[in-house]
Structure 1
Amino acid sequence: MWRFPYRYRYRDPTTMSTSTAPPDPTPEELKAQKEREEAEQAALPYKWTQTIGEVDITIPVPPGTRGRDLVVDIKLTSVKVALKGQEAIMEGTLYKSIALDDSTWSLADQKMIEIHLEKQNKLEWWPHVLTHHPKIDVSKIQPENSKLSELDGETRGMVEKMMYDQRQKEMGLPTSEEQKKMDMLKKFQSQHPEMDFSKAKISMG
């Protein structure tokens, strides 16, 4: 199971390119971003961790709480947790849909609600659990490479490709698919030196 600290402010690498990439943040800016994000996550009424395919949430409740005292409603794209007769502890739309039949909840020691959500898309990191809550920077997630060996060959290859493309985009460099297109063009150019490619354009979309 991969676990990671929530660090740095969210930045969508897909919006970056070699021509528009902003300068790297200074150490002071990184520290401020880290502190701000950690404060935002600490202010939530729950704690959460994730793997590439699962999300686990823990919610503290008053000691002595029993299952009959709770309202826990887990749906395909939303979740609600509340003590009966009180305002919801957490309620809203999930970042992405879940595999409902494989998602569960339990009450531990009459003081902690534990929710397990199975992602439908098992090749995507969630920047937040509920869409109206603060985001984490998924581009900074670095799963332990040793854990990749636990995946089957096809899934491991897809995860490694996703991680590579994520890093390339963050640095404003070509993804694996874009690099493949560029290599194919270079090979074609070498095979047809008589053709003029000086004005040729290659789509990276």
Structure 2
Amino acid sequence: MSDRPASPTPSERAKADAELKAKEAAEQATLPYKWTQTIKDVDVTVEVPATLKGRDLNVQLSKTKLVVGIKGQPPIIEDDLFSPIHVDESTWTLETASAGKTIEVHLDKVNQMEWWPHVVKSAPKIDTSKITPENSKLSDLDGETRGMVEKMMFDQRQKEAGLPSSDEQKKMDILKKFQAEHPEMDFSNAKIS
């Protein structure tokens, strides 16, 4: 008999995941802000009194640090960011909300291939392995990448249908054109590879 512990059953794994998610939600609820992210950016929302104006706020965005607060009071957030941001692409605004106002901070990630476990280093982490990314659209891709993906998708559909790929079709078209231009030649044994 092995000394290795048995793998958790699916129901045990689901229960552990639910407990971790509840713990993370409780930790995140204690933060003085709410935050969401995509693979490319992070959005932070901080509730503030409705009487405040933009000039009453202290918001500083740098490549590696975030400060959000009300002038004359200790900052609500003041810490190093998890990872660098593009300062020129990042913004903040003061928005009117149903229960007052919110400071909306948009952070544009430098590394747009990673999920952040937290906004600032002093905050509790989330398990980024449980993040389900949003579906991307072909229209989100640049022209060259989009063309390559569309060609791959076409070739996959052709292969599944037992039809020639785009490259094989191109070779066949060239051969047909050549045959038409040279009817005097015998192509009965020609092979396309």
- Return the letter of the residue paired with 1:120: V
Structure 1 residues 81 and 21, CA, compared in 2 at 3 Å: closer, same or farther? farther
Q: Which residue of structure 2 lines up, in the alignment, with residue 118 of structure 1?
A: 108
Residue 84, structure 1, aligned to residue 71, structure 2:
yes
Cα distance in 1 for residues equivalent to 2:53 and 2:5: 52
Task: Please list, as runs of the form range in 1=range in 2, the aligned pairs for 1:1-205 lying within 5 A after superposition.
Answer: 23-24=7-8, 26-109=13-96, 111-145=101-135, 147-152=136-141, 154=145
Equivalent residue letter for 1:33: L
Percent identity, please: 46
Higher relative contact order structure (alpha carbons within 8 Å, sequence separation ≥ 6): 1
Q: Look up the SS of the partner of 2:76 in the other structure.
A: strand
Q: Which residue type is aligned with residue 35 of structure 2?
A: W
Q: Summarize deviations over 1:154-196 as a string: whole Å, max 9, x none.
A: 49x9xxxxxxxxxxxxxxxxxxxxxxxxxxxxxxxxxxxxxxx
Bigger Cα Rg: 2
Q: Secondary structure at the match of 1:100?
A: strand
Name stretches of at least 5 consecutive residues in structure 1 with no aligned partner.
Answer: 1-19, 158-205
**Structure 2: gaps (5+ residues):** 149-193
Tell me: CA distance 1:139–1:21, structure 2 relative to 1, closer, same or farther (3 Å).
Answer: farther
Seen in structure 2, the aligned counterparts of structure 1 residues 22 and 35 have a Cα distance that, compared at 3 Å, is farther
**Structure 2 CA distance for partners of 1:143 and 1:21, relative to 1, 3 Å:** farther
Per residue, is there more strand in 1 or in 2?
Answer: 2
Match in the other structure for 2:188: none
> Would the alpha carbon gap of residues 35 and 76 (structure 1) be closer, same or farther in structure 2, given more than 3 Å must change?
same
Alpha-carbon displacement from aligned partner over 1:52-99 (angstroms, at most 9, x marks no partner): 111111100011111111100111100011111111101100000000
CA distance in 2, matches of 1:45, 1:99: 24
C-alpha spacing 1:56/1:80, structure 2 compared with 1 (3 Å) = same
Give the TM-score taking structure 1 as reference length.
0.60
SS in structure 1 at match of 2:18: helix
Distance 1:104 1:56 in 2: 10
Return the TM-score normalized by structure 2. 0.64
